[in-house]
Amino acid sequence: MCIIFFKFDPRPVSKNAYRLILAANRDEFYHRPSKLADFWGNNNEILSGLDMEEGKEGGSWLGISKKGKLAALTNYMQPKLDKEAKGRGELVTHFLTTDVDSFSYLKKISSEAHLYNGFNLITADLNTTKGDIFCYYGNRGEQEPIILTPVMSLCLPSQLPDPAIEDQGKDYILPILNKYSAVCVRCPGYGTRTNTIVLIDAEGNVTFTERSMIDEDVNQWKTNTYNFQLQSE
């Protein structure tokens, strides 16, 4: 299970304060092909890793654009996946490439939720006159997306014992559930492959650091850091 921790302050009073602190793990099968985080899109304005699994190419789990759009995805644990469902990774890349605001985008996604396997999705607009706006929608919970406030900053998901995770994994035996819900997952052929930190300061300077497993080897890792400034409106 992937984990995201984040905290945001739309209008930090100090230049030394962060508008956003986000830490995320990507848990996935080691053999599933993917690209390390890099810039892509028109004028290289979008930064994310990309899924290269056949039929799911171009999807992502976490990304940010220079225009100030951010999206982060975790999958919902379920005992049986619908193989005909649409790729959840496209939820991230579609948002990063659209001009639709966070809430409107999630509102549209909520009407199509049945087309996807279970997911949690955070979207954000970081260049608005009203300050940063973060929204959340999960297709196994509330029917409508919500606008987050700083005190509602989320952890998706936390460790056991957690009733929400235990409910998601009620069809799994507990030892497996415990392994999958760890902060760093290590199972045969599956586990934490990527760690990402995103920091945005009061002046819109972004630091995006990704640490990724190389060649399916838990002892080989590569770290890349990208620095840029959000474009002003």
Q: Is residue 110 part of a domain?
A: yes
pLDDT in tens, the chain (233 residues): 578 999 998 777 777 889 999 999 999 999 999 999 999 988 899 999 999 999 889 999 999 999 999 999 998 877 678 888 999 999 999 999 999 999 999 999 999 999 999 899 999 999 876 689 999 999 987 789 999 988 655 555 744 455 555 565 555 545 555 566 677 888 889 899 999 999 999 889 999 999 999 999 999 999 999 999 998 76
Structure tokens at 149: 């406030």
Predicted pLDDT of residue 155: 56
Total count of domains within the chain:
1
Predicted pLDDT of residue 160: 46
Tell which residue, 79, 78, 69, has the closest CA to residue 103.
69
Q: Is residue 95 part of a domain?
A: yes
Predicted pLDDT of residue 186: 83
Q: What is the domain-level CATH number for residue 183? A: 3.60.60
The model's pTM: 0.87
Max alpha carbon distance in the chain (Å)?
50
Task: Tokens 């297709």: give the residue.
Answer: 139
Which residues are CB-neighbours of 61 under 8 A, at least 6 positions away? 2, 24, 26, 48, 49, 51, 72, 73, 74, 89, 92, 194
Predicted pLDDT of residue 75: 86
Q: Is residue 232 part of a domain?
A: no
Which phi and psi (to 5°) does residue 173 adopt? -75, 150
Q: Is residue 120 part of a domain?
A: yes
Task: Tokens 């973060």: give the residue.
Answer: 134
Residue-range definition of the domain harbouring residue 190? 3-227
Predicted pLDDT of residue 175: 53
Structure tokens at 84: 């005909």
